[in-house]
Amino acid sequence: MSANHPEGVARYVREADRALVRRRAQRARLRACKFDTIAVHGMYSMEEAFAGGQGGIIEPVFPSTSQGYRDSDEMEAALAYLIPTWCYSRIHNPTVFYLEETLALLESYGCPADASALVTSSGMAAIKQAVEPLLALRGEGRINFVSAAQVYGGTFQLFSVRMAERGARVRWVRESWDVEAWKPLVDEDTRFLYAEMPSNPQQACFDVVAVAELAHTFDIPLIVDATIATPALLRPLAHGADIVVHSLTKTAGAGGFTVAGAIIARHGLTSRHLPEEARADYATWLKLWPFRDSGPCLSALSAFMLLNELRMLRVKVAHMSANALAVAEHLAAHPRVERVDYLGLPFHPLHPLASRYMQLVDEGTPAFGHLLSFNVRGTAADTRRFFDGLQRIWRATDLGRVKSVATIPAISTHQQQGEEGRQLAGIPPTMVRLCVGAEHPADIIADLDQALARLG
């Protein structure tokens, strides 16, 4: 702290330092707990509940837009970021803090390095916030980044259109499961590597360890969108990734109340393009600087609902994965279905690679999530006829719900990117994306069967 601050400010800093020591000790104790315990409790402790006087066993919600300070010294200390503060809810908020801590702990579970999280108003806001600072500065016109071609439709647009408007070129890797396909695309002007694991809707996956190594030889970060897997199945940081992004709207918020996103970054990440303080703790640096200027913050109420969703994450993901496998096996044997893509099917070409990375946390058994896709035998019109016949499974561009949801990607999530973009990403018009929920799988299978029967 600078000598220009009055003594009263120093007093607040000393008080905050003592509180920080207690918080660090509490966090270290929590980091030693199992995944489910972290998901259920997070950083909200008995000590905190009783200090507040009410003893509520669930985290309080702070809908307040701003924090009041005891006097000018505390305000000065807070606004200079010399003490922990939440200040103003565009920058931070106590309920959002609980959610960020839980996410950081779950995503860095079993990872030697620690991590911090930043939550955002949507998954797309998280992706944009995560990549923008890496594309800034020097080298205008030559800047590029390399991404798996199999990405979410919004990400495809962000990378190919919005980033091109800013002079940064995306180089797509079609065979992203083969690290050799990445190598020729990376050069001195590449700022980061990016992929989904597994991808929505194709379920492409890639060798996280090998692609992280490739990134690090160029001193750049690997960013992984692990929305579909969630930390219950995959924690990319433990395999060498630098930054994980999530749409919390999806599996993490399986109840379907909230649009939200998150960035979780490993402390001390690899990037020769970022300043030292940003590399040290990227998520916190984003929060305190670029993020507060852009403003895509999450409301306290949304954060509270998501905290509640996360408590049972592993159990939900295990249940939905088992249901998805049962449905995939049924569809694979159905005469009206041309092909089924589900990473859990032993004949899926990426099954061995996916099995190496996707395992139910603390159990070690392979599990592959709720997302599958299949192609109806026949034309695009047949696919629509089948789709319009669904009576239990919702037609919606949504996924990761406790309720089963289906869509035709070519006319919905991937409509915007055009025929050429769909061919690049491997999205034929007969493809149906199905996200299996928590219903009994027999009822989902029955609904699929009656809709397929309409095709004769």
The site string for ligand PLP over 178-207 (x = CB under 6 A, - otherwise) reads ------------------x---x-------
Which contacts of 273-281 are long-range, i.e. CB under 8 A and separated by 24 or more positions?
273/134, 273/137, 273/191, 273/220, 274/133, 274/134, 278/133, 281/116
Q: For residues 148-167, which are near ligand PLP according to CB under 6 A?
A: 152, 154-155
Stretch that binds ligand PLP, among 99-107, 118-126, 275-283, 387-395 (CB under 6 A): 118-126
d(CA 367, CA 356): 10
Nearer CB in complex with ligand PLP: 67/247: 247
Q: For residues 222-261, which are near ligand PLP according to CB under 6 A?
A: 225, 227-228, 247, 249-250, 259, 261
Nearer CB in complex with ligand PLP: 124/212: 124
Would you count residue 122 as binding ligand PLP (CB under 6 A)? yes
Nearer CB in complex with ligand PLP: 124/265: 124
- Among the listed residues 372, 393, 373, 389, the one whose alpha carbon sits nearest the alpha carbon of residue 381: 389
Nearer CB in complex with ligand PLP: 9/259: 259
Beta carbon of residue 195, minimum distance to ligand PLP (angstroms, whole number):
11
d(CA 449, CA 225): 33
CB 436 within 8 A of CB 444: yes
Question: How many other CB atoms sit within 10 Å of the CB of residue 105?
Answer: 24
Would you count residue 409 as binding ligand PLP (CB under 6 A)? no
Nearer CB in complex with ligand PLP: 196/281: 196
Would you count residue 123 as binding ligand PLP (CB under 6 A)? yes
d(CA 223, CA 151): 12
Beta carbon of residue 222, minimum distance to ligand PLP (angstroms, whole number):
16
Beta carbon of residue 177, minimum distance to ligand PLP (angstroms, whole number):
17
Q: Which amino acid, 310?
A: L
Would you count residue 321 as binding ligand PLP (CB under 6 A)? no
Parallel, antiparallel or unpaired: strands 405-407 and 394-395: parallel
The DSSP call for residue 166 is T
Position of minimal CB gap to ligand PLP: 123
Map tokens 């402790």 to a residue: 45
Omega prior to 94 cis, within 30 of 0:
no
Q: Residues interacting with ligand PLP, by CB under 6 A? A: 122-124, 152, 154-155, 196, 200, 225, 227-228, 247, 249-250, 259, 261
